[in-house]
Amino acid sequence: MNMITFDDTNRLLYVSLKHQDSFANSKTESIEVDEGIFIEKTENGEIVGIQILDGPKSEYIVGAMKDFIDIPKKINKKLDSSI
């Protein structure tokens, strides 16, 4: 199961792209791809997670995800009000 974890207090974000059991026996490493943004990959190069340690970047991503999830609600409201 994929999972998104956001720590409100410290403004940290972790996005798991694979279920932990699927790579539990693999060695993983974190690689910084941008300031405060890391990918977690297995020894065979498979990316299994993304970690954002930069507070403003984390909040931006979480806000964008919330806006994306709210899109269907906004569309339905617009359709209902036009009828």
User: Pairing mode, if any, of strands 12-16 and 47-52?
Assistant: antiparallel
- Is pTM, for the whole model, over 0.75? no
Per-residue pLDDT tens digits for 18-62: 777 766 778 889 999 999 999 999 888 889 999 999 999 999 999
Q: How confident is the model at residue 71 (pLDDT cuts 50, 70, 90)?
A: low
User: What pLDDT band is residue 1 in, cutting at 50, 70 and 90?
Assistant: low
Between 78 and 65, name the one with better pLDDT: 65
Confidence at residue 76, expressed as pLDDT on a 0 to 100 scale: 64
